[in-house]
Amino acid sequence: MMSYRIIDGKAIAQQVRDELKDEVARLKKQGIVPGLTVILVGNHPASESYVRGKMRASEEVGIRSDLIRMNEDISPQELLAEVRKLNDDPSVHGILVQLPLPRHIDANQVIATISPEKDVDGFTPVNVGNLVIGQDAFYPCTPYGIMELLKRIGISVEGKHAVVIGRSNIVGKPMSILLQRANATVTMCHSRTIDLPSYTKQADILIAAVGRAELITSEYVKPGAVVIDVGINRREDGKLVGDVLFAEVAPHCSAITPVPGGVGPMTIAMLLKNTVKSAKMHHRSASSN
Ligand code: NDP
């Protein structure tokens, strides 16, 4: 058994939000009010709760947040028209279309319609491309939040072996790129990986973004590893748990994020950070015109 650190994502996210609050107050003195607009299609309960959390957090730091609600049966054209209207609205700096969208709407087309300059989720092809080629971009909030978490607790990834389980566009793939950009050696695992523990056991830094409750037991983890648990899963008994069996794995680690209170709060904090960044960029480009 090792002594391990529980990484307090909630407290670190609060630090980020406090810094943003000060920054927004300074921007407001210059007449700049960062604005985030969220589009919510339908009334999926989890989406409702995520959106509420994002809007509450925005307002707390002084970001103006607006919610556009659309019916589940809206046509793709109506949704695209709304996105284009927001692209043209100078008071809107961040546009977020809450996923998932109803099946009859092509989410990729909707995302690609968001102006890359207002894409605070970092999902548009332009931002993904810039991330990959090492240019400045809006980075997707969850992996960006994980990098910030590691940085703020003084864990360098340079030269380390990072293993990422999961290759989704919103978490696993951008996570692997950010880790590479920070000079980690990265291994990607997914549902077709044969003998998953043989890879995960080599990880100095293990990132689980799978969506399978408590899949990762101590047999998957090298003693002394840093374990980042992205998963949010509802267990059969109703308890919210991660992808990692926390009580068993924690004593094998040097540091580990809990669920809840680990990665989740950082995701929201980075959305706010991206929105403030966007407001500053728009202001700079408006004043240079
Ligand atoms: P996806 O379902 O899009 O992707 C899951 C990935 O895990 C896929 O790449 C899949 O492989 C892989 N996978 C599934 N089963 C296994 C397995 N048994 N062994 C190895 N790999 C497997 O999920 P997301 O990336 O969107 O989310 C992952 C988790 O993170 C979810 O629990 C989600 O709720 C949570 N999440 C949390 C956030 C936060 O802020 N904390 C933000 C976003 C997500 P394949 O590609 O082969 O199908």
Residue 22, domain member (yes or no): no
Q: The tokens of 236 are what? A: 């059969």
pTM equals 0.97
| Cis-peptide into 174, omega within 30 deg | no
ipTM over 0.95: yes
- Residues 144-156 as b or e (16 or more Cβ within 10 Å = b): bbbbbbbeeeebe
Of the chain, the percentage scoring pLDDT greater than 70 comes to: 99
Beta strand pairing call for 240-241 and 233-234: antiparallel
Residue 195, domain member (yes or no): yes
Please tell me whether residues 64 and 170 are part of one structural domain. no
Is 103 annotated to bind ligand?
A: no
Residue 127, domain member (yes or no): no
> Could you give the angle at which helices 125-132 and 172-181 cross, rounded to 10 degrees?
30
Residue 277, domain member (yes or no): no
121 among known catalytic residues: yes
Which atom of ligand 1 is nearest the CA belonging to 267? 40
Last residue of a domain, one of 63, 81, 115: 115
How far is CA 265 from each of CA 17, 53, 89, rounded to the nearest angstrom?
10, 9, 29
**pLDDT tens digits, one per residue of 106-126:** 999 999 999 999 999 999 999
Please tell me whether residues 162 and 208 are part of one structural domain. yes
Is 167 annotated to bind ligand?
A: yes
d(CA 41, CA 231): 24
CB 246 within 8 A of CB 260: no
How far is CA 255 from each of CA 99, 153, 196, rounded to the nearest angstrom?
31, 10, 21
Please report, as a single letter, which amino acid is at residue 186.
Answer: V
**Nearest residue (CA) to ligand 1, atom 22:** 191
Q: How many domains does the chain have?
A: 2
Please tell me whether residues 167 and 255 are part of one structural domain. yes
Domain that holds residue 150: 140-264
Please tell me whether residues 148 and 250 are part of one structural domain. yes
Which of 98, 118, 204, 229 is catalytic? The answer is 98
CA 54-57-58 angle, 5° bins? 85
Which atom of ligand 1 is nearest the CA belonging to 167? 9
CB 214 within 8 A of CB 235: yes
pLDDT, position 288 = 79
**pLDDT tens digits, one per residue of 192-226:** 999 999 999 999 999 999 999 999 999 999 999 99
Residue 221, domain member (yes or no): yes
Please tell me whether residues 153 and 95 are part of one structural domain. no
pLDDT for residue 1 is more than 80: no
**pLDDT tens digits, one per residue of 129-168:** 999 999 999 999 999 999 999 999 999 999 999 999 999 9
280 among known catalytic residues: no
- Here the CATH number for the domain that contains residue 100 is 3.40.50.10860
